[in-house]
Structure 1
Amino acid sequence: MSNNSSNSSNHKKMSVSQLTMLTAVNMLGSGIVLLPTKLAEIGAISILSWLVTATGSLALAYCFAQCGMLSRKSGGMGGYSEYAFGKAGNYLTNYTYGSSLLIANVAIAITAVGYMTELFGVKLDPMQVGLATIALLWITTFANFGGAHITGKIGSVTVWGVIAPVVAVSTIGWFWFSADTYMAGWNPHNKSLFEAASSSIAITLWAFLGMESACANADAVENPEKNVPVAVLGGTIGAAVIYIASTNVIAGIVSNPELVASTAPFGLAFAQMFNPMVGKVVMAMMVLACVGSLLGWQFTIAQVFKSSADTGYFLPVFGIVNKAGTPIIPMLILLAVQTALALLTISPDLTKQFDTLVNLAVVTNIIPYILSMAALITIQKISGVDPKKAFFVNAISLVAAAYSYLALYSSGTQALMLGGVATIFGYTLFGFVSTRLIRLEKEKPYSPN
């Protein structure tokens, strides 16, 4: 009987190919929607940034897979960081990661607004873009007040509004590819190879944010020690190929000046490949995908803060829920912060505002990455990993950390300054929760181990 149960259990688990596909789909979200425009500002030579980011992301993904397999602490990256940096490291990781998600959602909302202006043929001034962004954030937050049951299902369907056009242009788009158009926009600003490779690393890393979440499915896959690293690396490689192919094929379909001026680059590409109506359909699909992404993430962010509040790492107010278990008050607090961000980052150019928010989101997200990479040495030591294997993994973690610092550098002085201030402010907030952590630790039941 036990053998039958075991076989039944194995049948219910994902295969390595299924987990690889899930990992790739998790990364292929709304992060790519404005990328062709941002990369066109550098030129097609920005493919060098993709190659650097793909290498760095693979190193990060491999190390996260190792962390996920060895760590015995809950809380994802926060749990990893705690091995080396204690509870303050766990808190800082959760705080900066939550802040990054908060900022990223404002960038996604601006992306949706950019596509809507092209879809409906309207011209908005900077204040109107800011107000439209805020309205979208409010609508998607209020829609979650009844719980995430329906909005979660919506998001799992609408994400294909991004994936389908991106995969389509990566494959069939080559029939419309012009080498002359591509080379005319190769290096319009005559940047050096180093400048070209480093100037858009932050924006390319934006597309890969979330790779660390793939390790959360370790319990749902067969032979996780072998298959999780394979799936994480395979999914990251698959996403990288599609990202590089789609952005570069568009650079050979649409001229560089047109691409730089567009706030809906994928719609523009499909309009030139087929006709304006098809372009409009693709724009509508991507707007729906961004809205669906916002619906899911607005609830998820509140849950991230709630979970941290429940374990003592955030202020108790973030743990308040209604009778249905929905964190309405946390969502409203976070919505107020997002509203302020949308107003404070208003720019004459929609893509410039997007750029500011993306760089800030990347800076705050890289801090948990660096803490996790540093903690991997300790995690392996505690887990008794064979020294030869540990040496190899630690070498990869150094590559991942070096890439992370390069991404910080490429984010620009403004993002580094604001990200630094936001991080330091987090230590001030830690003063309000540290005593609560001590109390919760004392309340834990005694364990002789």
Structure 2
Amino acid sequence: MHDRHTRRFGLGTATALVMGNIIGGGIFLLPASVAPYGTVSLVAFGVLTLGALALALVFGRLAGRHPDTGGPYVYAREAFGDFAGFLSAWSYWTMTWVSNAALAVAAVGYVHVLLPGHASKGMDLAVALIALWLPAISNFAGTRYVGAVQLVSTVLKFLPLLFIAVAGLFFFDADNLGSFHEGGGSALGGMSAAAAILLYSYVGVESAAMSAGEVRNPQRNVGRATVLGVLGAAVVYLLGTVSVFGTVPHDKLVDSQAPFSDAMNAMFGGTWGGTLIAAAAVISIVGALNGWTLMSAQSPYAAAKDGLFPAAFQKKRRGVPTFGVLASTVLATALTVINYVSGAGGVFEILVLITTFSATVPYLLAAGAQVYFLLTGRRDEVRPGRFARDLVLALAAFGFTFWLVAGAGYAAIYQGVLFLFAGILVYAWMRARRTVREREAAEGLATADAPAAAEDSPKGILAP
């Protein structure tokens, strides 16, 4: 009965959640971002896709063992204890609400293309806040509506991107590619530089595992949805980048502000492509915000159930942790308002950098947890012959995530570590409160048992 009411995500919806969260607004600028490094960036994308698939398979294995809402938090706490679990939940929560603010701001630029001539700071702020709160309202309505919005938005953004990716192959001209490696240095250095930009293209791979408590038959569907979602995103990413590279001349692509629009214009002429891509971008961002708003509440919800986050985060309605959604959306709103009202673009960029590091902490802990489970005698939970394969996958996922950390850059790591360690005070507060409650409960139990023990003792003999 419980599953019928709360587990509302089937395989298709869970796959859409993964794919929709991975494909945000960044895809529409990626080809231009990596064009300065040459076509070696396509090799970097391929390597990253393999790493993301390894991470996806690890999340599928972990969800099969622990099919609970909270994903990486659950695995880290089970393997390494409360503190590691808290760091995973805190870091993931930080990443979600800060990146939601960034996505909302990114939506504003595409709305300008759809509605030219209406730009003002007040109007931009209103658009950003609408982009934040519409997905929040969808979440308040329950996971059934979240799933429906996610399915529709994923299809609406996936189809035009896939159309460009496939149609571009028919207009492909190798003369547009430029050289394999642009600029100075070695090809390996160019691939690493391109990878540093592309590294976070697959953040969101954990989405199905994070909402495992809402997925029907999670032992089977979480792993499949995660792999299918990554593969779907990879098709759009890789084919789309190849098509843009082959249809837009390299010297123009390097300076492009809308590479997919330029590709559409190059293929079919006119300028209508820009409007189409802008609409797809807005749908893509709102769809990503719909999924990420749910993700922002799942990790603190799981931690709150274990007494590591304030109890209010446990409040749930129709499968959605409503207080977590509200808290994350309010924080993202405050950050967005600060960005527009004070013009503190530098501060906003620093906070966005923090998200790049924060995303890797739960990934590293989850991959490490899988290694721990495999090496501590839990082979009985692994199918015969799968131990070596699962260990290799876990090590590959850990190495991939470690590469993510290295690619984040010194500034992101420095700022991210400071923000991560700030959570220690929250952990100390919550852990102290839980310890006091447990001690008071134990003392109350002892006091209640003492009179009963005295009554049961023979006269003249002290009760122990």
- Superposition TM-score, scaled by structure 1 size: 0.79
| Cα RMSD after superposing both structures | 3.9
Distance 1:106 1:260, change over 3 A: farther
Shifted more, 116-125 versus 187-196: the winner is 116-125
* SS of aligned partner of 1:314: coil
Which amino acid in structure 2 is aligned with residue 379 of structure 1?
Answer: F
Which residue does the alignment assign to 2:330? 332
Which residue does the alignment assign to 2:395? 398
Alpha-carbon offset, residue 81 of structure 1: 0.4
Which residue does the alignment assign to 1:346? 345
Alpha-carbon offset, residue 29 of structure 1: 4.2
Residue 421 in 1 paired to residue 418 in 2? yes
| Partner Cα distance (1:259, 1:335) in 2 | 34
Which amino acid in structure 2 is aligned with residue 273 of structure 1?
Answer: M
Alpha-carbon offset, residue 31 of structure 1: 4.4
Which residue does the alignment assign to 1:252? 246
Which amino acid in structure 2 is aligned with residue 39 of structure 1?
Answer: V
Alpha-carbon offset, residue 168 of structure 1: 0.8
Alpha-carbon offset, residue 246 of structure 1: 0.5
Which amino acid in structure 2 is aligned with residue 161 of structure 1?
Answer: L
Gaps of 5+ in 2: 1-7, 446-464
| Partner Cα distance (1:160, 1:271) in 2 | 23
| Partner Cα distance (1:13, 1:361) in 2 | 27
Question: Contact conserved, 1:100 with 1:362, CA < 8 A, in 2?
Answer: yes
Which amino acid in structure 2 is aligned with residue 283 of structure 1?
Answer: A
| Partner Cα distance (2:192, 2:80) in 1 | 30
The equivalent position to 2:174 in structure 1, one of 174, 179, 190, is 179
- In the TM superposition, what whole-angstrom CA distance separates every residue of 1:197-219 from its partner, at most 9, and x where no partner exists? 22233442322112122345596
The equivalent position to 2:433 in structure 1, one of 419, 431, 436, is 436
Which residue does the alignment assign to 1:220? 216
Q: How does 1:50-199 map to 2 (within 5 A)?
A: 50-71=45-66, 75-121=70-116, 128=121, 134-143=125-134, 144=136, 147-149=140-142, 153-183=148-178, 186-199=180-193
* SS of aligned partner of 2:202: coil
Distance 1:329 1:217, change over 3 A: closer
Alpha-carbon offset, residue 316 of structure 1: 4.8
Q: How many equivalent pairs are there? A: 421
Question: Contact conserved, 1:107 with 1:357, CA < 8 A, in 2?
Answer: no
Distance 1:382 1:71, change over 3 A: farther
Residue 372 in 1 paired to residue 366 in 2? yes
Shifted more, 333-342 versus 29-38: the winner is 333-342
Question: Contact conserved, 1:60 with 1:397, CA < 8 A, in 2?
Answer: yes
The equivalent position to 2:31 in structure 1, one of 16, 31, 36, is 36
Alpha-carbon offset, residue 179 of structure 1: 0.8
| Partner Cα distance (1:256, 1:53) in 2 | 23
Question: Contact conserved, 1:27 with 1:207, CA < 8 A, in 2?
Answer: yes
| Partner Cα distance (1:313, 1:25) in 2 | 29
- In the TM superposition, what whole-angstrom CA distance separates every residue of 1:55-96 from its partner, at most 9, and x where no partner exists? 211211111111111237652111100123201111111111
Shifted more, 254-263 versus 78-87: the winner is 254-263
Which residue does the alignment assign to 1:261? 255
Distance 1:241 1:51, change over 3 A: same
Alpha-carbon offset, residue 106 of structure 1: 2.7
* SS of aligned partner of 1:159: helix
* SS of aligned partner of 1:177: coil
| Partner Cα distance (1:137, 1:308) in 2 | 29
Question: Contact conserved, 2:367 with 2:395, CA < 8 A, in 1?
Answer: yes
Which residue does the alignment assign to 2:449? none
Q: Looking at CA atoms only, which structure, 1 or 2, has the larger radius of gyration?
A: 2
| Partner Cα distance (2:279, 2:9) in 1 | 36
Which amino acid in structure 1 is aligned with residue 345 of structure 2?
Answer: I
Which residue does the alignment assign to 1:287? 282
Shifted more, 227-236 versus 189-198: the winner is 227-236
The equivalent position to 1:209 in structure 2, one of 203, 208, 212, is 203
Alpha-carbon offset, residue 369 of structure 1: 0.6
| Partner Cα distance (2:106, 2:22) in 1 | 17
Which residue does the alignment assign to 2:4? none
| Partner Cα distance (2:244, 2:372) in 1 | 44
Question: Contact conserved, 2:92 with 2:358, CA < 8 A, in 1?
Answer: yes
Alpha-carbon offset, residue 103 of structure 1: 2.5
Which amino acid in structure 1 is aligned with residue 192 of structure 2?
Answer: S
Distance 1:361 1:345, change over 3 A: farther
Which residue does the alignment assign to 1:7? none
| Partner Cα distance (2:255, 2:14) in 1 | 38
Alpha-carbon offset, residue 157 of structure 1: 2.1
Distance 1:116 1:72, change over 3 A: closer
Gaps of 5+ in 1: 1-11, 348-352
- Superposition TM-score, scaled by structure 2 size: 0.76
Question: Contact conserved, 1:31 with 1:206, CA < 8 A, in 2?
Answer: no
Which residue does the alignment assign to 1:362? 356
Which residue does the alignment assign to 2:451? none
